[in-house]
Structure 1
Amino acid sequence: MDSDGRKAPEADDGDFDDEGIVIDDENPEWTEEDFARAKPIHEIPELADFAAFIRKGGRPLLPSEWKKRRVTIMLDPDVIAHFKAGGKGWQTRVNAALRKAAGL
């Protein structure tokens, strides 16, 4: 076992190659021909819409009507403390509470 508690692959398991890489018959290693035939996602019509919403790193791009706006709002300290006590995502929870109160 590794120092972090994970079991190291064993050669006689049959699921790993000599370098400890998982052998997957349903997903074989790519050949030069596979790489030559590969296309970028934006060139595949069925995936074009999906490709428009992804980018490298960060969150996916959203249509402008879905984007949130930055505003400054004054809230009572106990209201802020209540939402922050829930941990990460407290601003999202404030947004949800406001939407519910507004009937949206």
Structure 2
Amino acid sequence: MSKTSKRPAIAMPTVEEDKAITAAAKADPDAQPLTPSQLKSMVPLRVLRGRPKSENKKLLVSVRYSREVVTYFKSTGEGWQSRMDSVLREYVERKAR
């Protein structure tokens, strides 16, 4: 199988074509260039995607629990992992006293 890209080549406009495109864009009242303050306030899209970063970042670990424990917490519905975390956190707080 060929490793070359199947995408078509991009043809860049000539200097004259670019000037004509720019002039047409500037003449359109609905498509004015962004001001320097607007450009400065822009944020990359990847920053806005996903859920907000937590102050209390959790660790990803692999743990084995008994079938009964997992079945019980799963039966409590959505958010069962968070409830399990809360129970373990309460245990840690009690033992730390």
TM-score category, normalised to shorter length? 0.3 to 0.5
Higher helix share: 2
Structure 1 or 2, whichever has the larger Rg, is 2
Q: TM-score, normalised by structure 1?
A: 0.44
Q: TM-score, normalised by structure 2?
A: 0.47
